[in-house]
Structure 1
Amino acid sequence: MIQEAELQRLALFEPLTTAQLERIRGAAREKRCLAGEPLFSQGDAARHFFLVRQGAIKLFLLSRDGDEKVVEVIQTGQLFAEAVMFMEQRRYPVNATALADTELVIFDHDTFLSLLAEAPDLALKMLGSLSRRVHGLLSHIDELTLHNATYRLVAYLLSQPRDDAGEVRLDLPKQIIASRLSMKPETLSRILARLRTQALVEVSGETLLLKDRAGLRRLLGQEV
């Protein structure tokens, strides 16, 4: 079972008292999903939100032709589907599938909403957490609409955790990263090849060495 300390590290639960956290913990349950296993589909009734304790969940939409658009990849330590509990029609707006074998904690919407009903001031504190989430999504939309593919990939690479040598490990399949950045996999490969030719990155399997971070940052100041 998830521990109180784990919950307190999540922005959504920061304002909760120990007693309130215990109520959330008491109603939570764990679930394991195998790679490729669907969690929910767009339009399903939404009764829960989730924490990825380990693994990754892909949130995506399907076009009428069956083409997949990855909206977001939720990774270890991240919550998702929490905002749905505040929607008038509580239905999941996207599909969710495990990208890898994944361990989840499932939280109950009604339990959380009952806490808000009992302590209205708690709702105001929640707004800060949700507004940060919305701001992040709006920034992502801005990148997709205002910047070209090279900009999006460079910004993504610079945002990833790296070691002291500047190495970035791509833990997600390249086709998933490409979809997340609204480009085709072959476009991503061409951009990486060009960045390698310019001596900005070095590619070895799933590991990238950011050889010239200053040069990469300069690319963000111009359309390439």
Structure 2
Amino acid sequence: MHCPRLKFLLPTARQHSLFRAFDNEQFLSLSGSARVHEMKAGDTLYLQEAEIDRFYLIIQGVVKLYRVSCDGREIVLNVFTDKECVGESEIFTDKHTHSTNAAIVENATLLSFSSQAYKLLLQQSSACCYGVLVEIAARLQEKQNEIEALSQQSATDRVIRFLLSQVKDTDNKKDSVVIKLPLAKRLIAARLSMQPETFSRVITDFKRKGLMDVKGSQLNINCLADLRQMV
């Protein structure tokens, strides 16, 4: 939908790697197709096999990609948060329908753009197309490095590094800290490339060892230094 907030949100999109290769005139042209979406947790962004006509930039919020297994289980494939795009890779494939479902996990503000308008701009400018390819290649390399790093870490290491990343800068020198998990445990597990049961088992082990106390999504880390030494 059109929204007065659109002009205030477009500068955020302008800084994203998918748009940096465009000059101002090209980005202005693409902005004509932009829409703002205010969505609530549980809302469906798009369904598997639905026609691909737009891609999305998350301004704020959390979106999950998932499929449903034959026995009805939801399989979370990835989780995206602020300043990340959803559905952009599919506009470059030969398929005309989405290969996954996408749903809102936490209330979200998103910007969407016409897939067709985006592709048309690339077709009209080889320089722009090359610039976007460079950006995409850099993102793929970054993702490969991330996957390689994860593959070399144990499940315990992954969880510790994630928990430490949630500690506020102002709390880094404290002996004990309290952190709140930003997502449901199964979604965190998906981001860490592990099963939800594995994530829960690691947290339970930390609790058993006295490293932390757990109250729902709130974790009281009793000794931050001890946790750091385990990495």
Q: Report the TM-score range of the alignment, normalised by the length of the smaller protein.
A: 0.7 to 0.9
**CA shift digits 1:21-71 (9 cap, x unpaired):** 211211111222222121112232211110112221111122222222222
1:24 maps to 30
1:178 maps to 189
2:116 maps to 110
Cα distance between partner residues in 2 of 1:143 and 1:12? 25
Deviation at 1:204, TM superposition (A): 5.2
Q: Aligned with 1:6: secondary structure?
A: helix
Cα distance between partner residues in 1 of 2:27 and 2:134? 18
Q: 1:73-152 alignment to 2 at 5 Å? A: 73-139=79-145, 141-142=147-148, 147-152=153-158
User: In the superposition, relative to structure 1, how do residues 137 and 67 fare at CA in structure 2: closer, same or farther (>3 Å)?
Assistant: farther
Deviation at 1:175, TM superposition (A): 2.6
User: In the superposition, relative to structure 1, how do residues 210 and 164 fare at CA in structure 2: closer, same or farther (>3 Å)?
Assistant: farther
Greater CA deviation, 142-151 or 15-24? 142-151
- Specify the code of the residue in structure 2 equivalent to 1:153: V
Count how many residue pairs are aligned between Structure 1 and Structure 2.
Answer: 220
Greater CA deviation, 113-122 or 148-157? 148-157
Cα distance between partner residues in 2 of 1:199 and 1:124? 53
**Equivalent residues of 2:63, 2:103 under 8 A apart:** yes
- Specify the code of the residue in structure 2 equivalent to 1:124: Y
Cα distance between partner residues in 2 of 1:80 and 1:156? 22
Cα distance between partner residues in 2 of 1:55 and 1:184? 23
Please state if 1:36 is matched with 2:42.
yes
- Specify the code of the residue in structure 1 equivalent to 2:120: S
Match for 2:68 among 62, 65, 77? 62
Please state if 1:195 is matched with 2:206.
yes
Cα distance between partner residues in 2 of 1:103 and 1:203? 31
Cα distance between partner residues in 1 of 2:7 and 2:98? 24
Unaligned runs of 5+ in 2: 1-5, 173-177
Cα distance between partner residues in 2 of 1:209 and 1:133? 35
- Specify the code of the residue in structure 2 equivalent to 1:149: A
Cα distance between partner residues in 2 of 1:48 and 1:89? 14
**CA shift digits 1:150-182 (9 cap, x unpaired):** 233223334446332145432211232234435
**TM-score, normalised to structure 2's length?**
0.79
User: In the superposition, relative to structure 1, how do residues 63 and 137 fare at CA in structure 2: closer, same or farther (>3 Å)?
Assistant: farther
State the percentage of identical aligned residues.
Answer: 29
